[in-house]
């Protein structure tokens, strides 16, 4: 077939001679020849094609059949596409129906799955509920071990946490069904716990009449009979309430068995009895009986330790069935209390009172160590936890306990002398009464005169504070001679002893501090004395302290506290005195109308009250307070009362001549009666050469000069008053322009002379201000 499709060259159909010149045109004969030859060649081609088709007829038939099938499928697809286009162009497209169908299928599948899961959940809840009923049934039938194990499995299944004490709080944000199941578990747990605790209480009892601890191994309660004590232990251990179940038993044994051993020691002993039938043990008894041969002394604690060891062995063998885990749980419940009881009733009482006897305490340390070793062998206490070696730690730290005991004794002694010191000063202890003398200062046998280290003064203090400082000095001397640990305790004891004064005395003397009396002054002096002594302690003792204590020992921080306390007490007294003086002055009703007899008597009574209060303060303060403090405080009080009286008189208006004379009389009466007080203030300045002796009382008490001048003005003519203002004398005495003008207007009637004098006073003041400018 390839030859049929080859290209035909026309010139090849002609003979060579006819084509001698290829470029020459063909003639008519040549064309006819060529036509014939082409027809012949065409017939050959047709023959060959026919032969080829006939030889490949089957192949061509298959090809035409395949083409026919392809056309048929194309028609079918075209019809389907036309149908699809028709559906799409209809009112309800097919894709919507398909989507709805798929959604419906998914909903049905989801609903089926949910129903299947709910069915599984209901089946699981029913199964758990049946297990709860099984636990309760087992509990009623006495199968405690089975009930405990099943309850533990349910606990894991429900994820109940041990740390959550309240199931309601634990299930607050959880589904209701889950919360109900946990509540059911909790109720079931409480039921089994209550039953097991009851059986444990019945199994281990102490009989007060016969004084014996009785352990029964076959138990019955509430219709449940024949339960073994070991089974109760196993069930409590499985459910996790072993220590809870043993709590009451532990309290019982400590109260009725351990406590008598610790407190009475060698006076009692124990007898064990075991009762059993042919097959097994039915009960064990531990009797407490008086000792046959009691020791006279129990210094080393052997009787206490051996008695407790015997009790623990009984518990280990007959109650805990030689189970290490159970006896260790029992030990965790009881050992801290037993150890504390032994320490408080025995070890702390045999701590040496003298450092020389510390070596003898070594026997007790060895005995205590052997005792705890025996408890470790029975697993009553932990062999690896040093915290359980409470007794050994206490005994080995006896040096510290010795110091702690001495510290407690020092503080007790300090507290006792502060509480029992009598601060009541006898009636004869007054400025004028019979008294002892020291350096010119009056004291009595209840108080003492002390020198202040940094003030170069002496003051009277209470006997309590001197005894307190003697105790502090003795304690600090012991610090210098002691080891570091003991010295540290003594150092703190000395500090605390001084601080006790700050705590005890304000409470003890609270009532006295609310009044004007010697007690408050003595307490003020005590605080001054303490602050001064504290400042000197470091200089006196620090160099002899142990090296490790020198850097940490300080006292100066306490001095400001007592200095502040002294100042607070003094200010409280001053304010109380000023308050009483103001009340007395208020009784004069502003010193008005003193020309009337009744008003004059009222004003005179007020002045008498002022004199009485000031003289009382003078009598109390002068012999007790430091001279400088007495002077400063008394001047403050006098300034307050004089300024108040002067102010009231200057505020009077329209005074009659008789009234001015009566006011002058009252002022003179007050100043004359206070002459001894003024003299005492002058004498203080004379006794203190370091102070300016030229400073008069007028400078210390500005209102004193003013009130004296006021008494003079009450009897002066108008021109003299004007002259005194112009000379500056009134201004130097503390009078102001407005006070002088108001005073003149109150005494002198309106007249040309008064106007002239007032003008002169104002003009003088104006000229003075211009000169100053």
pLDDT tens, 741-757?
A: 888 888 888 888 888 88
- 161, 142 in Cβ contact below 8 A? no
The confidence band for 6, taking pLDDT boundaries of 50, 70 and 90, is low
Q: Is the pLDDT of residue 109 over 80?
A: yes
Of residues 120 and 300, which shows the higher confidence score? 120
The confidence band for 165, taking pLDDT boundaries of 50, 70 and 90, is very low
- 282, 273 in Cβ contact below 8 A? no
pLDDT per residue as tens digits for the range 374-391: 999 998 998 888 788 888
pLDDT per residue as tens digits for the range 624-670: 888 889 999 999 999 999 999 999 888 888 888 888 888 889 999 99
- Would you state the pLDDT for residue 300? 56
The confidence band for 763, taking pLDDT boundaries of 50, 70 and 90, is confident
Of residues 498 and 482, which shows the higher confidence score? 498
Reference 662, options 584, 723, 606, 735; nearest CA is: 606
Please provide the average confidence, as pLDDT, over all residues in the chain. 82
Maximum Cα interatomic distance, the chain, rounded to a whole number of Å: 193
Q: Alpha-carbon distance 493 to 488, whole Å? A: 9
Of residues 165 and 281, which shows the higher confidence score? 281
Q: Alpha-carbon distance 496 to 489, whole Å? A: 10
Residue 321 in tokens: 């069935």
- Would you state the pLDDT for residue 162? 63
Q: Is the pLDDT of residue 443 over 70?
A: no
- Would you state the pLDDT for residue 356? 57
Which pairing describes strands 458-462 and 268-276: parallel, antiparallel, or unpaired? unpaired
What is the percent of the chain with per-residue pLDDT over 70, rounded to a whole number? 86
- Would you state the pLDDT for residue 524? 92
pLDDT per residue as tens digits for the range 336-371: 999 999 988 888 888 777 655 666 777 888 888 889
Least confident of 13-27, 304-318, 528-542, 627-641: 13-27
Of residues 119 and 106, which shows the higher confidence score? 106
Average pLDDT on 568-579 reads 93
DSSP H or E run through 735: none
C-alpha distances (whole Å) from 216 to each of 54, 219, 221 are: 120, 7, 13
What is the percent of the chain with per-residue pLDDT over 90, rounded to a whole number? 20
- Would you state the pLDDT for residue 444? 40
This model's pTM is above 0.75: no
- Would you state the pLDDT for residue 4? 52
Q: Alpha-carbon distance 747 to 478, whole Å? A: 76
Q: Is the dihedral of CA 710, 716, 718, 720 positive or negative?
A: negative
DSSP 410-457: HHHHHHHHHHH---PPPTT-SSSS--EEETTEEE-TTEEEEE-TTTS-
Q: Alpha-carbon distance 214 to 71, whole Å? A: 109
- 369, 386 in Cβ contact below 8 A? no
Q: Is the pLDDT of residue 149 over 50?
A: yes
Q: Alpha-carbon distance 460 to 526, whole Å? A: 8
Q: Alpha-carbon distance 134 to 143, whole Å? A: 10
Q: State the alpha helices, DSSP H only, in 254-361.
A: 259-264, 302-314, 324-345
- Would you state the pLDDT for residue 761? 85
Average pLDDT on 298-327 reads 86
pLDDT per residue as tens digits for the range 209-257: 888 999 988 888 877 888 888 888 888 898 888 889 899 999 999 999 9
Q: Is the pLDDT of residue 615 over 70?
A: yes
Q: Is the pLDDT of residue 166 over 60?
A: no
Cα 621-623-624 angle, rounded to 5 deg: 65
- Would you state the pLDDT for residue 359? 62
Residue 256's CB is within 10 A of a number of other CB atoms, namely 16
Reference 333, options 319, 346, 344; nearest CA is: 319
The confidence band for 182, taking pLDDT boundaries of 50, 70 and 90, is confident
- Would you state the pLDDT for residue 19? 52
- Would you state the pLDDT for residue 487? 84
Q: Alpha-carbon distance 549 to 544, whole Å? A: 10
Least confident of 52-56, 253-257, 555-559: 52-56
């Amino acid at each position: 077939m390839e030859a049929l499709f080859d290209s035909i060259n026309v010139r090849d159909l002609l003979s060579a001679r006819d084509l001698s010149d290829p470029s020459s045109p063909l003639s008519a004969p040549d064309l006819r020849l060529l036509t014939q030859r082409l027809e012949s060649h065409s017939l050959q081609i047709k023959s060959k094609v026919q032969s080829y088709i006939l030889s490949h007829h089957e192949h061509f038939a298959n090809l035409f059949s395949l083409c026919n099938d392809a056309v048929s499928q194309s028609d079918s697809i075209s019809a389907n596409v036309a149908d699809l286009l028709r559906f799409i162009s209809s009112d309800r497209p097919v894709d919507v129906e398909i989507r709805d169908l798929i959604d419906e299928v998914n909903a049905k599948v989801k609903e089926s799955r949910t129903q299947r899961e709910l069915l599984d959940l209901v089946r699981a809840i029913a199964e758990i509920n049946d297990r709860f009923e099984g636990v309760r049934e087992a509990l009623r039938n006495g199968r405690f071990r089975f009930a405990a194990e099943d309850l533990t499995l349910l606990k894991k299944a429900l994820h109940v946490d041990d740390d959550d004490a309240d199931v309601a709080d634990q299930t607050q944000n959880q589904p209701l069904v889950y919360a109900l199941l946990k509540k059911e578990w909790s109720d079931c747990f409480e039921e089994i716990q209550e039953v097991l605790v009851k059986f444990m209480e019945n199994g281990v009892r102490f009989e007060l009449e016969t004084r014996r601890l009785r352990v029964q191994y076959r138990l019955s309660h509430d219709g449940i009979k024949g339960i073994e004590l070991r089974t109760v232990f196993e069930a409590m251990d499985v459910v996790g309430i072993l220590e809870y179940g043993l709590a009451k038993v532990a309290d019982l044994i400590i109260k009725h068995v351990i406590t008598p051993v610790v407190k009475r020691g060698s006076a009692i002993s124990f007898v064990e009895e075991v009762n059993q039938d042919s097959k097994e043990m039915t009960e064990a008894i531990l009797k407490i009986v008086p000792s046959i041969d009691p020791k006279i002394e129990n210094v080393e604690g052997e009787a206490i330790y051996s008695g407790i060891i015997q009790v623990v062995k009984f518990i280990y063998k007959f109650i805990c069935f030689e189970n290490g885990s159970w006896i260790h749980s029992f030990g965790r419940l009881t050992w801290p209390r037993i150890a504390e009881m032994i320490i408080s009733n025995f070890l702390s009482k045999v701590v040496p009172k003298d450092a020389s006897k510390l070596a003898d305490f070594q026997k007790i340390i060895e005995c205590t160590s052997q005792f705890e070793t025996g408890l470790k062998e029975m697993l009553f206490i932990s062999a690896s936890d040093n915290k359980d070696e409470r007794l050994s730690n206490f005994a080995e730290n006896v040096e510290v306990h010795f110091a702690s005991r001495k510290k407690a004794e020092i503080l007790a002694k300090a507290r006792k002398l502060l509480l029992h010191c009598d601060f009541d000063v006898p009636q004869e202890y007054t400025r004028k009464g019979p008294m002892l003398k020291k350096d010119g200062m009056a004291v009595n046998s209840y108080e003492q005169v002390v020198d202040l280290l940094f003030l170069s003064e002496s003051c009277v203090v209470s006997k309590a504070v001197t005894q307190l400082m003697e105790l502090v000095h003795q304690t600090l001397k012991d610090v210098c001679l002691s080891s570091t640990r003991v010295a540290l305790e003594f150092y703190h004891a000395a500090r605390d002893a001084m601080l006790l004064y700050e705590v005890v005395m304000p409470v003890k003397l609270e009532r006295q501090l609310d009044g004007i009396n010697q007690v408050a002054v003595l307490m003020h002096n005590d605080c001054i004395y303490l602050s001064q002594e504290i400042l000197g302690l470091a200089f006196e003792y620090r160099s002899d302290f142990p090296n490790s204590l020198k850097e940490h020992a300080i006292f100066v921080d306490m001095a400001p506290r007592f200095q502040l306390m002294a100042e607070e007490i003094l200010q409280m007294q001053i304010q109380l005195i000023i308050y009483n003086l103001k009340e007395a002055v208020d009784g004069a009703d502003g010193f008005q109308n003193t020309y009337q007899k009744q008003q004059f008597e009222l004003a005179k009574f007020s002045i008498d009250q002022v004199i009485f209060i000031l003289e009382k303060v003078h009598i109390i303060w002068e012999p007790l307070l430091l001279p400088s403090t007495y002077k400063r405080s008394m001047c403050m009080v006098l300034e307050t009362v004089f300024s108040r009286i002067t102010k009231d008189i200057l505020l009077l208006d329209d005074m009659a001549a008789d009234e001015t004379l009566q006011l002058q009389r009252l002022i003179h009466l007050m100043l004359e009666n206070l002459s001894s007080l003024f003299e005492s203030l002058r004498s203080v300045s004379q006794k203190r050469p370091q102070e300016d002796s030229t400073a008069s009382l007028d400078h210390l008490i500005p209102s004193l000069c003013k009130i004296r001048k006021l008494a003079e003005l009450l009897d002066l003519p108008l021109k003299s008053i004007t002259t005194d203002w112009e000379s500056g004398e009134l201004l130097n005495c503390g009078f102001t322009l407005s006070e002088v003008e108001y005073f003149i207007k109150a005494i002198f009637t309106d007249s040309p002379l008064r106007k002239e004098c007032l003008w002169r006073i104002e003009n003088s003041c104006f000229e003075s201000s211009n000169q100053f400018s």
